Structure 1
């Protein structure tokens, strides 16, 4: 009997219309385009407009993913939204998306794992499909970090952007060629929770709810933990670095991306990079990058794609898929 797998059948993305360049930030902060680019690789970021919300952006990305797959909202069994910036504490972003799409069956829920959120959500959706609890799932990352940033803090506000990305997973019977999601690998270590966090919540009116980060420390952990997670995924599938066709990493910092690529011995032309134009869109960054590379023809059917991310928690993980 062949094993049930989750096939990546649809891809979508949404970026707000407003673009904020490094020069614009430099006009009101003690920074410069050279300073930002040299440390992060970021040149610009998209920032949510008045009408953009976590829900509205997620809906746009989801519709694109369904359209790509030739599916309708009636085909959706599950919706999982990875977000650290929901519009409301509840109902979840996912059920709001469900209502906007008109997906009248199935279920939805949000998942919070910061910048690793998409990998976590992909793993949950894959598990639902493998277990038979769902035949399909929309997995969405949607973030409006511009609304939790301290725009006077040059150490954080230059790093992030807003946007949403989505994939549509469908169940397939694997014929032995390893199509679909091969494996996912999740990790966290709460002792590092104070390295990257938001200093407030719905229940904490004494805090401003701004993002805080110890950038040097996060960077110090990132390459090692991400590289180990990548090796874990390859070992679990009896594959090597040479088998990877594309690395689609979380888009936090170009130096981190380059560091992981070097450990994989992957040339730059096989690494999908959007951080220069999108900045760090947290849980939305991997599906946005994946959507771009699939739609522009770089990633082709049959390609082995490795995804990895690290975020506040610290949380980190990897996913390996053959498209």
Structure 2
């Protein structure tokens, strides 16, 4: 980047969003959990029985009424109760990178920008599907980015805010004029759907933030 960019003021010029088409309502979630609890209690008569959940309990505990997930069917099946994804070969884009690309394209379209205008892609997420190659590199490749750089950041729940701060620092230092921060999260795969006290908390989403000088 040119020296004239040094000291530029970073701004968020656009945001992008991807949400899965599948949603799970509290009523569906509770019905699935209660069916599991009944089966567990019948199979373990000598242990402390699992307590039923309710829509009222979930909404009072969390304020959440529904959540988006990548795979609804397997999660709600009392015999499975976890998402199931087909394994992808290494030469195919990972699922998290794929939804990240969708969010990036949304942000670029809203800003009226092309990927050629972007200097860097930072993929900041609480969990990483692939350690190598970086999901940021997968996203760059899928978007057709021919220059610039990209890397992943993993700072647990603060990944998105650290990513935005890092992008802003690149802008201020003059090392970039346009940075895409993308946050793909498939937290449904890390949630214990058999736990009455926490199975309602997380869903799946990808967001993108275009930070520019």
TM-score normalised to structure 1 length: 0.51
Select 1:115's aligned residue among 130, 151, 157.
157
Q: Give the aligned partner of residue 195 of structure 1.
A: none
**Structure label with greater radius of gyration:** 2
2-side partners of 1:53 and 1:36: how far apart? 29
**Please, which moves more after superposition, 33-42 or 49-58?**
49-58
Q: Give a deviation string over 1:92-113, Cα, whole Å, max 9, x none.
A: 1111100110111111111111
Please show how residues 1-323 of structure 1 align to structure 2 within 5 Å. Answer: 3-29=7-33, 30-49=52-71, 50=85, 53-171=95-213
2-side partners of 1:136 and 1:149: how far apart? 35
Contact 2:128 2:154 in 1 (8 A): no
1-side partners of 2:158 and 2:69: how far apart? 21
TM-score normalised to structure 2 length: 0.76
Contact 1:22 1:33 in 2 (8 A): yes
SS in 1 for 2:20: coil
- Unmatched segments (≥5 aa) in structure 2: 34-51, 72-84, 87-93
2-side partners of 1:165 and 1:124: how far apart? 16
Q: Cα RMSD over matched residues?
A: 1.8
**Would you tell me which structure has more strand in proportion to its own residues?**
1
2-side partners of 1:73 and 1:28: how far apart? 43
2-side partners of 1:136 and 1:64: how far apart? 16
- Unmatched segments (≥5 aa) in structure 1: 172-323
